[in-house]
Amino acid sequence: MEDKPTRRRAVRSRSRPATMRAKTRPEATESNGRGRPDLRAARSSGPGNSRTRSRQPKEEGIAPLKLALSAVIIILITALVFVFGSHLQTSFGAKQRTRSQASTSKHLSHPWPSFRSTCENTGFAPFKTHLKPATDPTANHNANYWAFQTGRGIFSVPAISAFGQILIGSADRKFYALDELTGKVLWKITTGEIIDSAAAIHGENIIFASGDGHVYNASIHDGTIHWKFAAHHQEGTADEHEGLTCGEESFITAHGGTSTWFEGQVQISPIDGRVYIGNDDYRLYSIHANGSEAYNFYPGPLPYGTIWSGPAITRSGSVIGSSMNGKYFKLDKNGKCIWFHEEMYSISSGPAVEADLKMVFLGSWNGVMRAVNHTNGHTVWTFSAGDQIYGGVAVDAARRCIYFGSQDGVFYAVNSLTGKSVWRYRVNYPIRTSPALALDAVYFGAANGMIYALKPDTGDLIWSFDTTEDPDHREINASPALGHTSVVFGSEDGRIISIPYRYCLEAKTRKDPRCHTQTSEIDAVGMSDGRNLYYLYPGGIIANDVPDGFTTSGVWHIRLLIVSDNKPRVAHVLQATAELSPPTNGLTIEYLSTSGSVLITPRGFLASDTQYNLTVTMFDNSMTSTKRLFTFRTAANKLVPMFSGMINTTRLTSATTLHIYNLKPSYPPSWISLNQIGFDSVNLLAAIIHVISSNDTSTDYLVWIAAGLLEQDASIILDPTTPTLAPGILSIHPDGTTFELWSQFSVITGGPPIPMTGFSVASHFDVESGMFGTPTAPSWMSWSSWCGDSISSLIGAIQTNMCSTRGRIVTVGAARGRVYASSVSEKPRGWKVSKAAVRSAGWLGTEYVIEVTVSGGVGARAPVFGVVLFDEVRRVPVYLDYKAVMRVEVDVDVGQAQIAVSLANAMWKVGGGEGDLVRVIVMCDMYPLFNEVLKVDA
């Protein structure tokens, strides 16, 4: 934990009067980083927070007239209270309470205490937000917009307390408490991994979870940690508590998952305070309020039994949950199965309960929203959207309506009784957020960086707000929460954003160019009916044309969009052709799943400052061809050898290393649904270790790529457990700033390894910042793999519609990067190669063995060793699963490391029959410790 004293705060006596306790609590300030924020200016505008204060009169006595007048007033007030219901309500619909009452009440009036606001996952807050007359004192016209920048992206939902704290985690591994009015940090806790699950408030404590496999219980006021709970069902680990199951106990053996990351949403039972949360170890945990385990439930492993949703807790204390293997179920509070159903597709949305109708609503990745009977789980009705449904619904019991979004870019209102469409609102970009519903508005975010407020009755736009700062990293996939004065949410770019409900309506702020109050004011590219081809930016923005100033290392992502009756139709591209004039060395066309997109890659760099004509034709499953001409001019490259000038492969004291991060696969869009936060947290290091060739068109370098870990001080160290160890080729344009990196490896983003048989990043460095992947220096990232690389990847590809008609998963998106100088790239002290040899082995030389001895590191830190093989005849790296074929034994006490690489000659033909020569480069972290050509000994 950071920014607070290590000494735990003294426990206050519960018998002390509330007013005395309030006096002894320190006011929250930026300097001390603790305590609850002063919301005196906002309490008049927050739900249930009108301030009352009794004063002692200065006079010793009170005049009879005053007494009489007071009596009349008291009688009138009493009558009003009796008529209107025994208590007064604020305009937000919550009970009035003073600050001391709020701090001592057993049930605090938190405006948004958990992922979906209520324990039944309704996504509803019973107060008004924007519909307030100017004379209403609770309208809070002085609420301010603010944004707080965290270190990495956000896919979690804030909890908002009665004391005015925003409580949310980030992929930078930190859990934050921010002041609701200003966005200033009150306290923060650093965990061991990324955080992408929503927290929940329980009284004056906050319960949150991390990818480090722990659930934390901390004080809302200063972040003091009360207890931690550890998940314990990792794959291959024996565990006597295998878990409860439903209906298949006789033949199911409970297994652990590939990790113990917590990606489920925290939910707390109002009955007994139990904590419920799902984990990637294929478990739903039930945890007592004291942090001990009550039970865990196992929905089964295939194809991927992790639980990302938050369960709904009914009024009787039963639990309704779902899992990514398509299971949905109801348990009693002790984990005993009440009912259990399944379908073929993943379910990431948390079930939502409409108690009066005895209905449960949940959507799945095949685009089907279903209503099931609360009692037996049987389906009552289904509604089909145009694509995957990722988020949950908001339940409008008064209007008998539910609201939800889809990856098809449409926001739906559906009758909760019949399943019939009420209205829909199209934004043209994937909607993965779960909506937040108030009495007068429904709020949601989309992948175009916009937050929307719509009228629940009609679906008409109240306002929208464009949060975009970096066009390629702008998606809002974290669901909004409703606070005292503002809607609050996280963004892909790592910001926590607070927008006052009336910001786009008030006279002094509505002219902000980010605000829109008419749908016609919003970018309408691709919104009209018909069929057309569009260019997509790396981050997925749809554009009519390829932009001028196009980078000479760029690729073209072209999408066929077919719209009918204001609803997009999924297009399956069967065949595509492309012609470029003036021509290059050729074009490669790859098909992107079923999204109607192709990726066109030129072989080699384009000419700078040149006008090109790109003609693209697509033939789709409606047996129709669509053709389009794109005309654009490439950038005039400046000869600023900023990047190439840093490279020196002779007399090395350190290796020039790239740091590639913020990976953002924009298409197929299901990648974001699967793991936006995981990709965003990946750190790749690529060290330049050898010159391959140089000519007038490019200089090619051999690089070594490894995955790193982000330390608390923001430095990157190598991950000794990573499967990401691979060579690659870095081609640099003669301008010294434009480049393309190519490799193949597997990467772990929290689940099973993801194979990338053709990973590439193409960009140019921004001269001012020294970075790439910025708004002024966009980058293209892509990779591909076979749909059937494994059974799990095949099932996953089918479920998520990511498999193309060619049997491949082709991915395109954006990434950021920089030249990174650190100790992992420096020449190590002590270590040196004392022996290196390559020999043939096995029956008739069917195997090659590379043996390396590294010595001299007595008492030194054990680095991550590796061996890179380079084919000197073909002039290409040897691509292998280096992690699988390499065995490393390090003894720092004697200062020696033994490295052996064994591989069948079918995996690599040394020299191609023209000479048994191979270049062997021994890596010590990211530094090439040895680089020589060796002859294979028979």
How is residue 275 written in tokens?
């904590």
- Gap between the Cα atoms of 576 and 386, Å rounded: 24
The residue count of the chain comes to 938
How is residue 585 written in tokens?
């060395």
DSSP letter at 524?
-
How is residue 406 written in tokens?
């889809």
What pLDDT, on a 0 to 100 scale, did the predictor assign at position 248? 54
Which of these ranges, 539-543, 556-560, 598-602, has the smallest mean pLDDT?
539-543
What pLDDT, on a 0 to 100 scale, did the predictor assign at position 797? 60
pLDDT of 58 over the 60 cut: no
Which of these ranges, 66-80, 120-134, 464-478, 805-819, has the smallest mean pLDDT?
66-80
Q: Which helix (H) or strand (E) holds 22?
A: helix 18-24
Peptide linkage before 303 cis (omega within 30 of 0)? yes
Q: Which helix (H) or strand (E) holds 104?
A: helix 99-104
What pLDDT, on a 0 to 100 scale, did the predictor assign at position 788? 65
| Beta carbons within 8 Å of 634's beta carbon, 6+ residues apart | 549, 550, 551, 552, 606, 607, 608, 609, 610, 612
What pLDDT, on a 0 to 100 scale, did the predictor assign at position 398? 94
Averaged pLDDT, 34-62: 38
What pLDDT, on a 0 to 100 scale, did the predictor assign at position 67? 47
Q: Which helix (H) or strand (E) holds 100?
A: helix 99-104
Instruction: Name the residue among 148, 207, 173 with its Cα closest to residue 494.
Output: 148
What pLDDT, on a 0 to 100 scale, did the predictor assign at position 648? 58
Instruction: Give the 3-state secondary structure percentages of the chain, helix then strand then coil, rounded to 5.
Output: 10, 40, 50
CA distances from 582 to 214, 533, 602, 610, 615 (A): 57, 21, 12, 9, 12
- Gap between the Cα atoms of 165 and 160, Å rounded: 6
Averaged pLDDT, 499-518: 92
- Parallel, antiparallel, or unpaired: how do β-strands 159-160 and 808-819 relate? unpaired
What pLDDT, on a 0 to 100 scale, did the predictor assign at position 282? 86
pLDDT of 410 over the 80 cut: yes
pLDDT of 610 over the 80 cut: yes
Percentage of the chain with pLDDT > 90? 42
Phi, psi of 476 (to 5 degrees): -105, 100
Sign, CA dihedral 310-316-318-322, equals negative
pLDDT of 69 over the 60 cut: no
Q: Which helix (H) or strand (E) holds 496?
A: strand 495-500
What pLDDT, on a 0 to 100 scale, did the predictor assign at position 90? 34
SS3 140: coil
Percentage of the chain with pLDDT > 70? 78
Q: Which residue has the tokens 């010793």?
A: 60
Averaged pLDDT, 861-880: 86
Instruction: Name the residue among 718, 713, 723 with its Cα closest to residue 748.
Output: 723
What pLDDT, on a 0 to 100 scale, did the predictor assign at position 904? 74
Tell me whether residue 519 is exposed, middle or buried, using C-beta atoms within 10 angstroms of its C-beta: 0 to 12, 13 to 18, 19 or more.
middle
In DSSP notation, 405-418 reads: E-TTSEEEEEETTT
First to last CA, the chain: 58
Averaged pLDDT, 163-179: 95
- Parallel, antiparallel, or unpaired: how do β-strands 832-841 and 927-937 relate? parallel
Sign, CA dihedral 345-349-355-357, equals negative
Instruction: Name the residue among 687, 643, 699 with its Cα closest to residue 868.
Output: 687
| Beta carbons within 8 Å of 275's beta carbon, 6+ residues apart | 200, 202, 207, 215, 229, 266, 267, 268, 285, 286, 287, 288, 289
**Full 3-state SS string of 333-360:** CCCCEEEEEECCCCCCCCCEEEHHHCEE
SS3 76: helix
Peptide linkage before 582 cis (omega within 30 of 0)? yes
Which of these ranges, 246-250, 551-555, 621-625, 767-771, has the smallest mean pLDDT?
246-250
SS3 400: coil
Q: Taking the CB of residue 508, how many other CB atoms lie within 10 A of it?
A: 9
pLDDT of 841 over the 90 cut: no
DSSP letter at 308?
-
pLDDT of 10 over the 50 cut: no
| pLDDT category of residue 9 using cuts at 50, 70 and 90 | very low
CB 524 within 8 A of CB 544: no
How is residue 332 written in tokens?
């009693």
Residues 888-927 have pLDDT tens digits of 998 878 888 899 988 876 566 554 444 577 899 999 999 9
Peptide linkage before 583 cis (omega within 30 of 0)? no
Instruction: Name the residue among 193, 194, 183 with its Cα closest to residue 149.
Output: 183
How is residue 290 written in tokens?
């004291």
What pLDDT, on a 0 to 100 scale, did the predictor assign at position 652? 67
pLDDT of 27 over the 70 cut: no
In a 13 Å sphere around the CA of 479, the CA atoms on its Cβ side amount to 35
What pLDDT, on a 0 to 100 scale, did the predictor assign at position 931? 92
Residues 189-234 have pLDDT tens digits of 999 988 989 999 999 999 999 999 999 999 999 999 999 999 987 6
Averaged pLDDT, 452-463: 96
CA distances from 794 to 584, 754, 755, 789 (A): 35, 12, 12, 7
CB 620 within 8 A of CB 596: yes
CA–chain centroid gap for 653, Å, is 38
Residues 665-723 have pLDDT tens digits of 888 887 877 777 778 888 999 999 999 988 888 889 999 999 988 777 778 888 888 88
Q: Which residue has the tokens 């972290």?
A: 925
How is residue 582 written in tokens?
């003036």
pLDDT of 662 over the 80 cut: yes
What pLDDT, on a 0 to 100 scale, did the predictor assign at position 284? 92
More confident residue, 848 or 101: 848
What pLDDT, on a 0 to 100 scale, did the predictor assign at position 908? 61
- Gap between the Cα atoms of 438 and 581, Å rounded: 55
Averaged pLDDT, 462-472: 92
DSSP letter at 902?
E
More confident residue, 62 or 146: 146
More confident residue, 355 or 71: 355
Q: Which helix (H) or strand (E) holds 771?
A: strand 771-772
| Beta carbons within 8 Å of 377's beta carbon, 6+ residues apart | 328, 329, 330, 339, 340, 341, 360
Average pLDDT, the chain: 81
Please tell me whether the overall predicted TM-score, pTM, comes out greater than 0.85 for this model. no
